[in-house]
Amino acid sequence: MGDSSPSHWTNRVLQVSRPYQTMSNRLSKLSVLNSSHSHFLLADNGSAGKYGAEVRLRRQLEKHIALQRINTRLGQGVPVVCLVLEGGPNVVSIVLESLREEPPVPVVLCDGSGRAADMLAFAHRYCGEDGLLGDRVTEQLLVSVQKTFSYSRGQAQQLVAMVTECMKRRALVGPPDL
């Protein structure tokens, strides 16, 4: 089989160029690239119209970066944080995954940036030391999720359950102290 066997594929990088349509083009579909950025890392698992295809690749890249040493003599690694700026429902699952990692990745919330970041910051602000949310706060969060993401009550409950799970590690979550 030689180099064509699947066991050798993990060490290969495939460079592919694909055309991308900007939002101003009528052929554009779904996501927008932010024109304020100069470089992008695009991940494609072959799915179309589904967010989250990049999560696994990004997590593996983060782990690889975190394992690098900036000071080999002291064994000092590269610090990694999960920065939440706005974001959709999938960002809540990314935050939860980051907090479940071993070692866990601290999460910095940019409160006031909108959507998922604001909801997580709201939960962080009003949860107890044990990470639990009171009934009134949970209800406010449910209404906010339904309104913000056009979710049904059931969908909102699932997302709020993930937010609550994130708050169980509230010591690793928070807005930056500026």
Q: How confident is the model at residue 25 (pLDDT cuts 50, 70, 90)?
A: low
**% residues pLDDT > 90 (the chain):** 49
- Residue 69, SS3 per DSSP: strand
Model confidence over 45-89: pLDDT tens digits?
Answer: 777 667 777 777 888 888 888 888 888 788 788 889 999 999 999
Judge contact between 110 and 84, C-beta under 8 A. yes
Tell me the pTM.
Answer: 0.75
Q: Letter for the amino acid at 104?
A: P
Sorted by where each begins, the domain ranges of the chain are: 81-174
Is the pLDDT confidence value at 129 over 80?
yes
**Pairwise CA distance, residues 73 & 53, whole Å:** 37
Structure tokens at 29: 């579909």
> For the purposes of burial, counting CB atoms within 10 Å of the CB of 157, is it exposed (0-12), middle (13-18) or buried (19 or more)?
middle
